[in-house]
Amino acid sequence: MQKSFVLTEVFRDLLDEAKTDCLTVNSCMGAIMPVSETTACLPLSILNDKGYTAFCQGDFVVIPSGVLLHYISGKPVFLNDPSFPHDSVMTLAHCTAPRKMDGERYEAARIMTHFESDYGAAPKVEMRKGQRITNVIPDFASRRWLGVEAEIIGSPFMPICRSQIDVAIQGDMSRLIQETRGWHWMTSYGSYLRETEYAVRKLGIDWLGVT
């Protein structure tokens, strides 16, 4: 745990040095763990709660959508891995997640290890059941973004990335499956599809909403 807080301050120093509020870590297990002797999961969670946009994996297909959704919503956003639907439900999960998902209050969380490595510190954030969420899914070519709303119906504890939410899709599940052309999702509390579509089209990117 102590090393996680040291790494948080290192990240903040890097942000200050670069005069930016956005940070991502490419190949975070290989880049961070050997040097810091911990994982980036908890530090990135803390930074998002402090108003930065801080992500792992350096996925520059999806990270712009997270920056945009953060500034549209005024809230931290959750970079996550989606599952294939089961019983009309999708599970979204990652080992780093903000706790202040509504921008004000901390959600309950347990500090665990990073799932794949069983190392370091990672938060299992218990996101709010019944909460409406916005999900943005850019395609790999950065030509079209897909948007869908959902409702959080549970916070399971399966052997996958630590912060997990089961969500009921509010829209055409079949079309969502057929039209998804990217991997990671960006998720925020609240309903922001209309605002996101407006901004995305201004950027010359196509948009498809399935809610």
- Tell me what pLDDT residue 72 has: 98
- Cα–Cα distance for residue pair 209/211, rounded to 1 Å: 6
Number of domains in the chain: 1
Please report whether residue 16 resides in a domain: no
φ/ψ (deg, to 5) at 186: -115, 135
Residue 203, pLDDT > 90, answer: yes
- Whole-structure pTM value: 0.94
Scored b (16 or more CB within 10 A) or e, 98-116 reads: bbbbbbeeebebeebebbe
Binning pLDDT at 50, 70 and 90, where does residue 58 land?
confident
Please report whether residue 170 resides in a domain: yes
Question: What domain range is 159 assigned to?
Answer: 60-209
Please report whether residue 34 resides in a domain: no
Please report whether residue 11 resides in a domain: no
Binning pLDDT at 50, 70 and 90, where does residue 148 land?
very high
Please report whether residue 143 resides in a domain: yes
3-46 pLDDT, tens digit per residue, is: 999 999 999 999 999 999 999 998 877 888 888 999 999 999 99
- Tell me what pLDDT residue 28 has: 79
Binning pLDDT at 50, 70 and 90, where does residue 149 land?
very high
- Cα–Cα distance for residue pair 177/162, rounded to 1 Å: 24
66-90 pLDDT, tens digit per residue, is: 999 999 999 999 999 999 888 779 9
C-alpha R_g of the chain? 16
109-132 pLDDT, tens digit per residue, is: 999 999 999 999 999 999 999 999
Please report whether residue 186 resides in a domain: yes
Residue 1, pLDDT > 80, answer: no
- Tell me what pLDDT residue 82 has: 95
Residue with the bigger pLDDT between 60 and 74: it is 74
- Tell me what pLDDT residue 27 has: 80
Secondary-structure breakdown of the chain: helix, strand, coil percentages, each rounded to the nearest 5: 30, 30, 40
Please report whether residue 23 resides in a domain: no
- Cα–Cα distance for residue pair 151/144, rounded to 1 Å: 24
Please report whether residue 71 resides in a domain: yes
- Cα–Cα distance for residue pair 24/63, rounded to 1 Å: 8
